[in-house]
Amino acid sequence: MAERRSRPRGAARREMILDVALKSFAENGFHGSSIADIAALCGLSQPGLLHHFPSKAALLAAVLEYRDRIDAQRLEWSDAPRGLDALRRLARLVDHNAHVPGLVQLFTVVTGESVTADHPAHQWATTRYHRLEADLAQALSLGVADGAILPGTDTRGLARQVFAMMDGLQLQWLLDPDNVDMPGLFRSYIETVIAAIAA
């Protein structure tokens, strides 16, 4: 019997599920989304979806990991940026995010929900912030060691400020996209930071 090719298999099916789930979580949050609805939108039965992701929490974790992989690719973080280049890469990421509102909405909704300790994404959000702040602080510290950034710069505190600005602008942009120039405002902020800390 010939294999049917009208429905995606394996990795392609998982990718389709992640894409549909991302949209659902972004629009409805974790608690407002259901496995049954996501499965129906994918053309699958609920057991069929659970074959790939054994629970809604596991599906959310996979969607969040997928989003982080996209960000890592955009940041080109694998080659360990040093100094001011790390800040400029973040500005380029925000430029890109303006073209993928669904991803930004997913992050904002799920992160907001995850402040409660019993939320499935709580550990992911906490770990993510610690990792991002540590990575940026390390990159800025390398810039201090290279002489590109002023000695005495509070690299950890600055990293926290940068991500607070990024997330705050994302929220404002989602609420009022016609009047909030997220990329322009963030780029201006980064330029101000660079002018203040550049040696």
Band (2; pLDDT cuts 50, 70, 90): very low
Q: Note whether residue 87 is domain-resident.
A: yes
Band (69; pLDDT cuts 50, 70, 90): confident
Q: Note whether residue 8 is domain-resident.
A: no
Q: Note whether residue 32 is domain-resident.
A: no
Of the candidates 71, 65, 92, 76, the residue with the CA atom closest to the CA atom of residue 139: 76
Q: Note whether residue 98 is domain-resident.
A: yes
Of the candidates 183, 54, 198, 92, the residue with the CA atom closest to the CA atom of residue 140: 198
Q: Is a pLDDT exceeding 90 seen at residue 142?
A: yes
Whichever domain contains 80, its CATH number is 1.10.357
Q: What is the pLDDT of residue 4?
A: 46
User: 10 Å Cβ neighbour count for 51?
Assistant: 11
DSSP structural state of residue 78: G
Query: Which residues, including other chains, have CB under 8 Å from residue 104's CB and lie 6 or more apart?
Result: 97, 170, 173, 174
Q: Note whether residue 173 is domain-resident.
A: yes
Task: Tell me the angle at which helices 182-197 and 155-175 cross, rounded to the nearest 10 degrees.
Answer: 160
Expressed as residue numbers, the domain containing 162 is: 65-197
Contact 140, 55 (CB under 8 A): no
Lowest mean pLDDT among 19-33, 36-50, 145-159, 185-199: 19-33
Q: First-to-last CA distance in the chain?
A: 70
- Mean pLDDT along residues 112-130: 89
The tokens for 39 are 């499965």
Q: How many domains does the chain have?
A: 1
- For 70-115, the pLDDT digits (tens) are 767 766 656 778 899 999 999 998 998 898 888 788 888 888 888 9
Q: Tally the residues of the chain.
A: 199
Q: Note whether residue 42 is domain-resident.
A: no
Maximum mean pLDDT: which of 18-22, 128-132, 191-195: 191-195
Lowest mean pLDDT among 46-50, 56-60, 141-145, 155-159: 56-60
